[in-house]
Structure 1
C-alpha cells in the first residue's frame, strides 16, 4: 500500500495513458522510485539542476515500457545524483508554524526537513487534505506555496554545466532562468498516480524554490480585475504580443541574462497587459484547459525549426508542454475548489505568454510540421514510435514530452471543431510525434537551450 513513506505502484495504475502493465513491472517501478526517494537529493548539483528520476520512471511505466527500460533509465541517471541530505530533526517540528517555516524557504538544505514535515502531515491528514491546506486554501501560506510551485528559478547564478553543451559551445548562463515548472511536474506524478510520498516530494520541492514569479503572477492577476475585455483565444494573445514593437525591439537586443522576475527586460508593461486579458469563467474550465494544451504544443512545435538545421524542440517551451497533464488530473479532483482550478489554469496561461516572449517570440505556424518527412521516409502509427523513445539515453525529458503529446492528441479529438484548435487531425498529430522522436535522435544537442536568436542553432548540425 502506498503511504507517505512508501511508493507502491499497482499494475492497473498506469496514469492517464491507461496502458497495461504486469505485477513484475509494477514492482520494478515501485522499487526504483523508492530507491530514488530514499537515496537522492532533489537537486543533482549545487546549481539547482533537478533530479528527474521519478518523472522518468513513471513516464516510462505509464507508456508501457519494460522493467529493463526503466532500469536502464534509472542507472543512466543515478550516477550524477547527490545523496539525500540529512534532515534537521530540530527544524521539522518548527515548520508547523508558517512564520517559522518562512525562514527556511528557498534553501535546499531544508529540503529533507520539508519532505519529512509534509510526510508527517500527509500521514496525519491524508494527501488530499494536505494539498487543500497548503496549496488550495486561499490563505497566505497556500498562496506562497502555489507561487513556488510555478517557480523553477535556479538556486544560484551559474553557468550551464559543460556536459550539457556541445563541443565548442560557450557557457550560456541561466541566471534568473524562466520557470521550468518542476515542482508542479513533480506534484503531477504524485497526484496522477495517487502516491502520497511523491505528493510530499512535490510540496518539499516547491518549498525550496524561490517565488521569483510573484510580482508577475500577482501583478497580472490584479490588472485582470480592472480589465473589462473578454478573454480572446490564447494564440491571438501570443500573436498580439509578438507583433508589439516594444517587445520586438526588446527581443532583438536581449540576452538570456536579461530576464527579470520571469519577464524579458523591457517588456514588463506589455507582458502584464497581455497576461491580464487571461480571465477564465468556471464554466469554461475544461475547454480553456484544452485550449491551453493546444497553444503550448503549437508554440513548441512551431519553434522547432530553423532553415537548414535539424529540427530541435526548445528546452523551455518543452517544459510548458510536459506539465500539461496535471491540469487534466486537477480538473478531475472534486475535492479541489473550482476557484483554485481556474486560478491555477490562469497562472499557467500567463506564464506561457511570458515565456513565449522570453524565448524570442518564435513565429507561429505549423506549415513545417504539416510538410515534415520523417527520417525513415514513412509515416507509421504514432504509438509505434514508443520503443524508440523508451530506448533513448535520456534523463526523462523526451518520454515526458512524448507522453504529453499522446495525451494532447487524445484531448484534441473532443475540440477539433473549435476556432482556437490548431493541432488537429490524425495526419498532423502523427507527423508531429514523428518529428519529436526524430529530433531527439538526431545529431547534436537534444534540445535548444538558449533563446531563439541564433546562438543555440549555431551548434545544431546542418541538414545533409
Structure 2
C-alpha cells in the first residue's frame, strides 16, 4: 500500500469524489459518496492493505488523531491476534478516507502549518501547550484533541525518518498544538464542520479576532457543538 497521505491526495484529485458531496446533503456519506461516487470511492478503498509486520508503523501513520489512543491500546492487547489488529486498522483507514471525501476533501498544506503564527507563542513542549485546555469550558473535546496531538508527536519520533513522515519536526508539532488551542479559544462556532466546503467558513472570524470569553461554554458545556452557544456565529 502506498503512503496514506498519497491516498488522501488520490481522493482529492478525483473529480467524481470531490464533486459528489454537497454542503446541503443531510447524510454526506450516504447521499453523497455512496449515491453519487460509490465506484470511485471503492476503487481507492480496495487499495488499503496493511501487512502484519507494518502494523505499528501504519498505526502511527493513521490520520484521525483522536483515535490514536484506542488503536495503540488494541495493538498492545495479547488477546487480540495480529490479524485482528490489522483488520481493525484497515477498516479504520478506509473509513477515514470516506470521511475525508464526505467533508469536501479539505486541502492539507504543510506550508500553511509552518507559516502559522500562534496567538500566544510559547517555548513550552507540545504537551505543555495543550495543558492550556485542561480548564477549557467544553465537554472534553478540546483537551482530547490536545492530548492526542501530544501522543502523536511523541509516537512520530520513532518514524520521523520514514519517507511518508511529513510532520516530524518539533516546531511543526508545536504549531499544530497552537492551532488546536487557538481554534477553540477563538470566537464563533467551536468547531468547523465539513471544512472542505467554502460554506463551512462563512461565519468563521479571522485569526486576528479576540479570544472568546470562557464562561459561556463552561456554563453550558457546549463542546459537543449542539447548543446555541456553540453554534453561535461570530459578531463584533
Scaled by the length of structure 2, the TM-score of the pair is 0.81
The aligned runs of 1:122-201 (5 Å cut-off) are none
The answer to whether the aligner puts 1:365 opposite 2:85 as a matched pair is no
Kindly report which structure 2 residues correspond to 1:41-440, keeping only aligned pairs within 5 A, or say none. Answer: 231-251=1-21, 253=22, 255-261=24-30, 264=33, 265-292=35-62, 296=63, 320-440=64-184
**Do structure 1's residue 456 and structure 2's residue 225 form an aligned pair?**
no
Tell me how far 1:248 sits from its aligned partner: 2.5
**Residues 239/450 of structure 1: CA separation in 2 closer, same or farther (3 Å cut):** closer
- Paired residues, number: 207
RMSD over aligned CA atoms reads 1.8
State the SS of the aligned residue for 1:349.
helix
Whose Rg is larger?
1
Q: List per-residue Cα deviations over 1:2-24 (Å, max 9, x = no partner).
A: xxxxxxxxxxxxxxxxxxxxxxx
Provide the C-alpha distance between the structure 1 equivalents of 2:182 and 2:121, rounded to a whole number of angstroms. Answer: 11
Q: Which has the higher contact order (CA 8 A, sep 6+)?
A: 2
Cα distance in 1 for residues equivalent to 2:128 and 2:95: 33
Q: Deviations over 1:395-446 (max 9, x none)?
A: 1111111111111001100000111112111110111111111111011111
Q: Secondary structure at the match of 2:91?
A: helix
CA gap 1:266/1:254 in 2 versus in 1, 3 angstroms: farther
What is the CA deviation profile of residues 311-338 of structure 1, one whole-angstrom value per residue up to 9, with x for unaligned ones? xxxxxxxxx3212211111111111111
Gaps of 5+ in 1: 1-230, 297-319
Change (3 A) 1:328 1:394: same
Q: Which runs of 5+ in 2 are unaligned?
A: 209-236
Shift of the 422–262 alpha-carbon distance from structure 1 to 2, 3 Å rule, reads farther
Tell me by how many angstroms 1:454 deviates: 2.0
For the residues of structure 2 that align with 1:349 and 1:396, how far apart are their CA atoms? Answer: 24
